[in-house]
Chain A
Amino acid sequence: MFETIPLTHILIVSTLMFFIGVFGFLVRRNLITILMSVELILNSVNINFIAINKFLYPERLEGLMFSIFVVAVAAAEAAVAIAIIINIYRRFSSINVEDVSEMKG
């Protein structure tokens, strides 16, 4: 059943996800939501890798392997980001981008 979905549709979904992520990154004002947008971007890339691997190059699992590493790196990134965000919350008592901006120019 899955095989009936063409590659193009999957790529459209992943591209949409990517740009929703970029949009969220630029528009959202809460640091956690920005982090979620980044995760959206990375997961859209994962969809790309796996779909391309399955449809175009099924004989080698390079894309699949890459996506596993992307997941691992995203986890590390989220861990560090949340650690810094917690510290920011202690310092500023807020995680809104507008409040966490002391440097200008």
Chain B
Amino acid sequence: MNLQTFLLMRHEIILMIIILVMLAAEIFSDDKKNTYNLSIISIILFAIHTIIGYLPGEQGTLFGKMYINSELTVQMKNILNIGVLIVLLQASQWLRKPENEGKTTEFSLLIYSTLLGMYFMISSGNFLMLFIGLETATIPVATLAAYDKYRNQSSEAGIKLLLSSALSSGILLFGLSMIYAVAGTFYFEQISSNLATMSHTPALLALGMIFFIAGMAFKISLVPFHLWTADVYEGAPVPVTSYLSVVSKGASVFIFTIVLYTVFKSMLVLWTDAVIGIAVATMIIGNLFALRQKNMKRFLAFSSIAQAGFILLGTVAGSQFGMSTVLYFVLIYIFSNLAAFGVVSIISYSTGKESMNDYKGLYNTNPKLSLIMMLALFSLAGIPPVAGFFGKFFLFMASAEQGYYYFVLIAVLNTIISLYYYLLPVKAMFIDTNETPIEPLKSELLPKIALVLCVVGLLVIGFASPVFEYLKEISFGI
């Protein structure tokens, strides 16, 4: 191993350097009022990091195949980078509020630490690496959720997130111990080759896999392990909520898909049944609860639960096409959900209003914001001109290709239900009248850039077929 091989983990190394630079800058800056400038610097550094991520690099493995770097993992990290960049841009306005004075750098540091964990998690070739990455990705998020120290709901969200994620990692580890008992190793490759030699699946292994799926389902907030989601999303500050619902969830979905496709590939029949069951329950329950939400953050929380159910359509397919649709959908989901959260956050910071009724008549006072919100909701619902339609269409196609017609039918029916509640805020904004609508808002430059990025993504990615072709090329199936 020489210095060159370390370039295989360039994402991690650059992010680590950014973390250290920001930490040093935070320590040595004597002016506590200047921390906002530091967060601008950190955004610029991260933007450079995002661009560097797209440069072509070598592929290979490190640390005795504990760390795998392939084109697929690099692109997954790039997708997450886009999400984090948009979240940071959106958060800049919130970080300027007086109550956040002196702790603006902490926010980006914690975000970067969780992102580092996600990088290692995605690149893992061993369950030990996966576990450490997963924990590095979740523990700082709990502190982020409790970031508003003087708001009761924020601390409540933090402890709920931390305890439920601790329980879920306990369940996941219990499953891993069973897998270890059968396979005798933690390496993905060796486990799958050991399993391939067995004539039948041992019951202990099947149980371990179920525990593993349950543990991951907590992180992706799939039904019946979704109970923490709504409270945490409501209580946490808006940028943290958008981070949780998009980046955290995306990373967990990626590694979940990779593990199912590599480690458990000989048990395809077993896990497809389990995952289909979970996905159906997730879509139905997420939709039904979203119907009756009045708080916009809670509304988006339940809609994100339902979206996670849709993502599983691609995972279940078990083909190269299936994995590429998962990547593609997460990319689109990042843009659409962050656009919606961006509008919610701008309104929430300026006026403190989060209820759906406050959005009545928004079009008359803030036409641009309401148009962006409409595009985002159309994309989440899957209405044709915007990217969300193509994402969902490919997911359905991947699943139908493998013959899961009933499953696709249920998913399509759920899309129709979801149309109803996605159009509720649109109706409130455009049709309903309100005597005291939200006054015209002036947003700052950086959140504006974030919104523009989201809108461009929403409009372009659906029609840019090279994106999907490329994602399909780098994915793998069973």
Beta-carbon contact of B174 and A73 below 8 Å: no
Beta-carbon contact of A103 and B156 below 8 Å: yes
Residues of B with C-beta under 8 A to A77: 135, 139, 162, 166
Beta-carbon contact of B142 and A45 below 8 Å: no
* Closest CB in chain A relative to B225 CB, distance in Å: 13
Residues of A with C-beta under 8 A to B184: 56-57
A74-92 interface mask toward B, CB cutoff 8 Å, 1 = contact, 0 = none?
A: 0011001101110110011
Interface residues on B, range: 35 or more
Q: Is A13 an interface residue (CB 8 A)?
A: no
Beta-carbon contact of A103 and B162 below 8 Å: no
Beta-carbon contact of B167 and A25 below 8 Å: yes
Beta-carbon contact of A42 and B170 below 8 Å: yes
CA distance A34 to B298 in the complex (A): 26
Residues of A with C-beta under 8 A to B143: 80, 83-84
Residue of chain A at shortest CB distance from B184: A57
Beta-carbon contact of B186 and A62 below 8 Å: yes
Q: Is B402 an interface residue (CB 8 A)?
A: no
Q: Which of B69-77, B227-235, B319-327, B419-427 contacts A (4 or more CB under 8 A)?
A: B227-235
Residue of chain B at shortest CB distance from A43: B170
A17-37 interface mask toward B, CB cutoff 8 Å, 1 = contact, 0 = none?
A: 010011001000001001100
Total cross-chain contacts (CB, 8 A)? 119
* Chain B contact residues, majority secondary structure: helix
Interface residues on A, range: 35 or more
CA distance A85 to B142 in the complex (A): 12
CA distance A62 to B64 in the complex (A): 13
Residue of chain A at shortest CB distance from B129: A69
Beta-carbon contact of B163 and A34 below 8 Å: yes
Residues of A with C-beta under 8 A to B404: none
Task: Give 25 pairs: A residue, B residue, CB < 8 Å, sorted on A.
Answer: A34-B163, A38-B166, A41-B167, A42-B169, A42-B173, A48-B177, A57-B184, A57-B185, A62-B128, A62-B185, A62-B186, A63-B180, A65-B128, A66-B176, A70-B173, A73-B132, A76-B135, A77-B135, A77-B166, A81-B159, A83-B143, A84-B158, A87-B158, A91-B152, A105-B230
A interface residues (Cβ-Cβ under 8 A, vs B): 18, 21-22, 25, 31, 34-35, 38, 41-42, 44-45, 48-49, 52-53, 56-57, 60, 62-63, 65-66, 69-70, 73, 76-77, 80-81, 83-85, 87-88, 91-92, 100-103, 105
